[in-house]
Structure 1
Amino acid sequence: MAKETIRVVLCGDNGVGKSTLIASLAKDRFIPNLQEVLPLVTIPRDFSSSPYSPKNTILVDTSNNDPAELQRELKSADVIWLVYSDHESYERVSLYWMMTFRSLGLNIPVILCKNKCDEYEDSTSLTELDTQDTRTEDEEFIPILMEFKEVDTCIKTSARTHFNVNQVFYLCQRSITHPIAPLFDARVGELKPLVILALKRIFFLCDNDQDDCLNDDELYALQKKCFDRSIDVNELRFIKQTLSDISGPSQEYAGCNLYIPNKGLTKYGFLVLNKIYAEKGRHETTWGILRAFQYTDSLSIQDKVLFPKLNVPETCSIELSPKGYRFLVDLFLRFDRDNDGGLNDKELNILFKSTPGVPKLWSATNFPYSTVVSNRGFITLQGWLAQWSMTTFLDYKITTAYLIYFGFQEDARLLLQITKSRKMRRRIGRLYRSPVTDRKVFNCFILGKPKSGKSALLESFLGRSFSDLYSPTLRPQIAVNSLELKGGKQYYLIMQELGEQESVILENKDKLKSCDVLCLTYDSSDPESFSYLVELFEKYHYLMDSPVIFVALKADLDKVQQRCHIQPDEFTEQLNLSHPLHISSTWLTSLNELCMKLTEAALFPGKHTPGFPQETDTQNADYRQTAMVVASAVGFVALLSFTLVKVMRPSKYSD
């Protein structure tokens, strides 16, 4: 985003030519005999300029005769254009001017300009500046550059011959739009750590074939993306030759391959190339690369790119769009280097190299064992897509941020789709949720007494074998998997065991709004297990408003009578619900039936919400017959009314 206005304050000793520089820039010619201090000059942006150029640049002339006014102008500056012209004024740059800036607490770039270099003619065009070392190795410039980090660039000018006047103005703008300070530490002559991290990530994303080199095609693609033009063949040859020469045995980068013939630039070569750009005053090239990958001046990716604003109504959910799923499939296939259908630890580490690491949500839910893994413990494509479906449902901002980190180049909102608002219907004086038509990700809370078999159910849901070992669930556990219903429609089911936070979550009605179906479990072999569910309904009466499936777990063990004032079948009948499903983690078919039942309950909430009598086929037939009778009666009345009106209305031709 371009800065709207940049304020450039010219200062320096009297007589160094500040006013003539402004006039020469504004009028494009030398104007002698000017007044002592010129009024403000505003230079608008040229239409051919970079989109990062400011809309307006204000040039402020100053005089040493009014120190208070000078200080006020300096404090309002975005960049300082410091001018000297002879040995005496040069000495005062270090002894007076730089000390003055520091005493005022100014932390802004300074462009140091040696004026009245009239022996030079104005023969250097702006485009030639890119290939020119603006930090001329001059005995005057080097000590100041080394001592004062505020000094961004040094340049020689002449207002009389118009030498470098346009260039120094451009450098003032560039110090704001393409600052060198975040990129390069001139005192040690190295790129700064944050830009190194950013450039390594960009290199990684551009290395499509993952061979740790950028070949010609990848360099062409990078150039096109960043600068919207093809790289010149001669420039590419020059880059290769330069990096090949640097990697000689006597050079600083001995032992590091910067360029490998027939393969391309290495990661170190890419970093060295950008270091050369910084040293030569061409750091706008590096900024062009960084900004094409959405980096800000602070070397972080823009928040509005990572977390785009979405207007999400309260009863809507967010899912991955087809474009999002395609991107994730391509990502999985790209990093499954051994083509074994799973991402091992090494492949996952490489995949997440361009990100801050595995999301905290995943670490907290025991990834990758929160979803489907292969028999060697590697996440499969099915599990990969299920994991991201769950992540998007629970916190879509994690998805948008990470898919941008992974290299998605378009608006992150294209990765998502917002489902329709949840509608409510009324029946026998109560509201219930309408059938769902546009969702494919559903959230299920598993409730039940400790040791009832909830954790084993989660493991079985993910296709893992049953274990007799018992470990109490303290923190919430989560599992997500895909399933296919009749007709070939695929859905994702998120199952959450709440652990010790169960009561806290159930007391929060907002948490329940994100739950599509409740799976109420008890141990059919434990006589004390079912009473826990009855007490839940007595304590949290609003559970009656959610779709519910009752499940009798450990059905492979002997069924016992429950020590409760009401038995499970009787209780579900009172709630007008189906009897509990009898499930065993060792019975695969029963588990499939449960998953389908839970998904159907989320799709058709009314049929599985407690307290609504089930409509029988006879009732449905009676209803349809009644509706037809009513419709016929309404039609007959309408026809009779129309006939009577025709008969009773007098003709307009009658006397």
Structure 2
Amino acid sequence: MVKEQIKVVVCGDNGVGKTSLIACLVKDQYIPNLQDCLPAVTVPRDFSSSPYCPKTTLLVDTTGSELPSLHRELKSADVIWLVYSDHESYDRVALYWMMMFRSLGVNLPVILCKNKCDEYSGNGNHSLNAGEFRAEDQASDSTKIEDEEFIPILREFKEIETCIKTSARDKVNVNQAFYLCQRAITHPIAPLFDARVGELKPLTVLALKRIFLLSDKDQDGYLNDEEISVLQRRSFGKSIDIHELEFIKGTLIHLSTPPQEYASYTLYVPEKGMTKDGFLVLNKLYSEKGRHETTWDILRAFHYTDSLSINDKVLYPKMDIPATASVELSPLGYRFLVELFLIYDKDNDGGLNDQELEFLFKTTPGLPTLWTETNFPNSTVVNNQGFVTLQGWLAQWTMTTFLDYRTTTEYLVYLGIEKDARLALQVTKSRKKRRRNGRFYRAPVTDRKVFNCFVIGKPHSGKSSLLESFVGMSFSEPYTPTIRPRIGVNSLELKGSKQYYLIVQEFGEQEPAILENVEKTKKCDVLCLTYDSSDPESFSYLFDLINEHKHLLELPMVFVALKADLDKQQQRCYLQPDDFADQLFVEHPLHVSSAWSSSLNELFIKLTAAGLEPGKNTPGLAPDVAREDLDYWKYALVATSAVGFTSLFTFALFKLIRSLRNES
């Protein structure tokens, strides 16, 4: 994560040129005869060309003669700019300065700078990075004497990230040294690359493998030219140069040709593209050559932080959700999920099998916990082979968004959505209430497409079979008591070809606790109160339940007589089901059987309609609501008549005034 300000503490023996370097950097010229120690200097953001530079950089000059002040500055630093200039000050880097940093517990990146290289006449910037060597024999005969100084100290101290030669007098590499200090924070090499073994670190490999999978849009195992170009634009904001692309291809082909280092790997295949191994080797080369900011640009384009985890603010963006509102997928969200389904349905059979699902979720931590807890894929629509259909895939994500939208935003990011995950969601309006005869009830819903239904009833009444039928599962005779909560979701089409989603939940042994929790029940859009019409003891459970939990009377409810294909029994209850429904002013129970598909469809449509128009299904309100609607139309008719009379009167008055004017 990029900080608002970087603090760079400049250390080194007296006389090595620390103050001159700072003055040359700020004034862009060599200034002789400076004071021993400059006050802290704030360098603005636009001073550097670093693309991830924070707002400001604070440069702190120090002197070795004031140890308490030096120690205090070091403990609050972000990076250390350590300067030496001759053989004596070089020896003290290892023997004194690095030992001091370790004794203070300062574990910071160190940029080692050999200053006063006034005689240096190389061709531009010259620096050596921790990743640019792995063995002594890598130093060529032309390696300068200073490089031979750098290599052993880089090996000994992992804190030293980069070594560079500078001259304040000749203005050589001063700005570059400053940039390296910034880069040590904005693009740290330590999380990416282990210089001691010369390999990318495991977390880096995992992140880059995930990025490769997300960038391989056609999922053929290769990054073709178009996919590389798309990755380039996303990571660097510009198209890749054709010559650079050809150079990358040539480099990978050369490295995988015997007797080169990666001869046993396939890094690039002509006509197909770059392999996953090629992508990893390419980024390894960037780290070895000190170009690890390139890898960081790629990682940050996919929202990785310095700890190689995805930014929590991206996974869980802040959203303002009113207490009585709900969250649904937007058209953008549905479109992304449809495209994802079509990409990973490799055999084009209209369903995602286990292997396809495993590969789809390879860029994520695995199936969402909510899915495993709700027995996915049995929670949604599957085909005859048990594979999730597109209808079931969209329904499952609709349910996930409604119940826990943070899981949806998290997984949309993991699955590679490029836009802000919040754009894939939409927040409904707060649920409004109306008042009648001193009672509040929920107003009709106009902008919601998803409704939550609690299925309540005595054990063995048929709740599980109802839920299984809802997601298209066939009826099974053996009875298995429901212990853990179960859930099902499916889409429904109501009149006018409008599509809605209904979430159906049964709670097993948790049912009493759920019903006692008033806050939990507020999240319910409609109660489906079930009883076994062939069991004379079944309905009394609902009767007692409603009398015990009076807050349930505030919810829309639908009574359902299940197992209607069996002989109907008189219920041993204070009131029979029809009489109780009359007392509550709700409709008589629907008679439903898992063997009658038409009755099931009627029930699910009825439950969805109850969510859309709560007032018609809330106990004690149906006659009042009907009267209220009648009164509304009476008032509307009177108002229309009044408007018509006023318009007619105004028109007549206008004509009268006009005629009087003509006569005059």
Which of 507, 525, 531 in structure 1 is aligned with 2:516? 507
TM-aligned CA distance change 1:8 to 1:632, over 3 Å: closer
Q: Cα offset for 1:129?
A: 11
* Structure 2 partner of 1:651: none
User: How high is the TM-score relative to the length of structure 2?
Assistant: 0.91
TM-aligned CA distance change 1:419 to 1:623, over 3 Å: closer
* Structure 1 partner of 2:575: 566
Q: Cα offset for 1:629?
A: 6.9
* Structure 2 partner of 1:186: 195
Contact 1:21 1:159 in 2 (8 A): yes
Report which stretch shifted further, 618-627 or 63-72: 618-627
Distance 1:627 1:219 in 2: 64
Q: Cα offset for 1:125?
A: 6.3
Distance 2:294 2:641 in 1: 78
Which of 491, 495, 504 in structure 2 is aligned with 1:486? 495
TM-aligned CA distance change 1:199 to 1:160, over 3 Å: same
Output aligned runs, 1:417-428, within 5 Å. Answer: 417-428=426-437
* Structure 2 partner of 1:584: 593
Report which stretch shifted further, 543-552 or 145-154: 145-154
* Structure 2 partner of 1:323: 332
Report which stretch shifted further, 559-568 or 589-598: 559-568
* Structure 2 partner of 1:268: 277
Q: Secondary structure at the match of 2:111?
A: strand
Distance 1:249 1:167 in 2: 37
Partner AA of 1:261 in structure 2:
P
* Structure 2 partner of 1:117: 117
Output aligned runs, 1:9-28, within 5 Å. Answer: 9-28=9-28
Output aligned runs, 1:174-573, within 5 Å. Answer: 174-573=183-582
TM-aligned CA distance change 1:236 to 1:503, over 3 Å: same
Report which stretch shifted further, 98-107 or 628-637: 628-637
Partner AA of 2:542 in structure 1:
L
Distance 1:616 1:221 in 2: 57
Q: Cα offset for 1:256?
A: 1.8
Contact 2:615 2:625 in 1 (8 A): no
Q: Secondary structure at the match of 1:46?
A: helix
* Structure 1 partner of 2:52: 52
For residues 235-255 of structure 1, give each alpha carbon's deviation from its aligned partner in whole angstroms, at most 9, with x where no partner exists: 222211221222234444342
* Structure 2 partner of 1:72: 72
Partner AA of 1:40 in structure 2:
A
* Structure 2 partner of 1:652: none
Distance 2:625 2:285 in 1: 80
TM-aligned CA distance change 1:64 to 1:125, over 3 Å: closer
Q: Cα offset for 1:155?
A: 1.2
Contact 1:121 1:162 in 2 (8 A): no
Q: Cα offset for 1:34?
A: 2.4
For residues 339-382 of structure 1, give each alpha carbon's deviation from its aligned partner in whole angstroms, at most 9, with x where no partner exists: 10001111111111111111000000010110000100100000
Contact 2:128 2:163 in 1 (8 A): no
Contact 2:115 2:168 in 1 (8 A): yes
TM-aligned CA distance change 1:570 to 1:83, over 3 Å: same
Partner AA of 2:437 in structure 1:
I
Report which stretch shifted further, 338-347 or 243-252: 243-252
Q: Cα offset for 1:88?
A: 2.0
Distance 1:628 1:65 in 2: 94
Aligned CA-pair RMSD: 2.6
Which of 149, 152, 161 in structure 2 is aligned with 1:152? 161
Q: Secondary structure at the match of 1:287?
A: helix
* Structure 2 partner of 1:101: 101
Contact 1:183 1:195 in 2 (8 A): yes
Distance 2:170 2:133 in 1: 18
TM-aligned CA distance change 1:177 to 1:618, over 3 Å: closer
Q: Secondary structure at the match of 1:432?
A: strand
Partner AA of 1:60 in structure 2:
V
Distance 1:570 1:402 in 2: 49
Q: Cα offset for 1:75?
A: 1.6
Distance 1:619 1:279 in 2: 77
Q: Cα offset for 1:98?
A: 0.7
TM-aligned CA distance change 1:149 to 1:479, over 3 Å: same
* Structure 2 partner of 1:602: 611
Report which stretch shifted further, 81-90 or 479-488: 81-90
TM-aligned CA distance change 1:230 to 1:110, over 3 Å: same
* Structure 2 partner of 1:612: 621
TM-aligned CA distance change 1:382 to 1:182, over 3 Å: same
Distance 1:430 1:551 in 2: 26
Contact 2:436 2:624 in 1 (8 A): no
TM-aligned CA distance change 1:404 to 1:133, over 3 Å: same
Q: Which runs of 5+ in 2 are unaligned?
A: 140-146, 650-664
Q: Secondary structure at the match of 2:455?
A: strand
Partner AA of 1:276 in structure 2:
L
Partner AA of 1:180 in structure 2:
I
TM-aligned CA distance change 1:235 to 1:633, over 3 Å: closer
Distance 1:79 1:203 in 2: 32
Q: Secondary structure at the match of 2:623?
A: coil
* Structure 2 partner of 1:62: 62
Contact 1:134 1:155 in 2 (8 A): no
Q: Cα offset for 1:122?
A: 7.4
Q: Would you say how many aligned residue pairs link Structure 1 and Structure 2?
A: 638
Contact 1:258 1:265 in 2 (8 A): yes
Distance 1:133 1:623 in 2: 81
Partner AA of 2:97 in structure 1:
W
Distance 1:516 1:621 in 2: 25
Contact 1:134 1:281 in 2 (8 A): no
Partner AA of 2:538 in structure 1:
S
Q: Cα offset for 1:330?
A: 0.8
Q: Cα offset for 1:455?
A: 0.3
Runs of 4+ in 1 over 4 A off after TM superposition: 132-137, 615-637
Q: Secondary structure at the match of 1:42?
A: strand
Partner AA of 2:90 in structure 1:
Y
Contact 1:452 1:523 in 2 (8 A): yes
Q: Cα offset for 1:231?
A: 1.6
Q: Secondary structure at the match of 1:204?
A: helix
TM-aligned CA distance change 1:458 to 1:59, over 3 Å: same
Contact 2:7 2:59 in 1 (8 A): yes
Q: Secondary structure at the match of 2:46?
A: coil
Contact 1:223 1:229 in 2 (8 A): yes
Distance 1:618 1:401 in 2: 47
Contact 2:83 2:114 in 1 (8 A): yes
* Structure 2 partner of 1:643: none
TM-aligned CA distance change 1:512 to 1:618, over 3 Å: closer
TM-aligned CA distance change 1:441 to 1:81, over 3 Å: same
TM-aligned CA distance change 1:490 to 1:157, over 3 Å: same
Q: Which runs of 5+ in 1 are unaligned?
A: 641-655
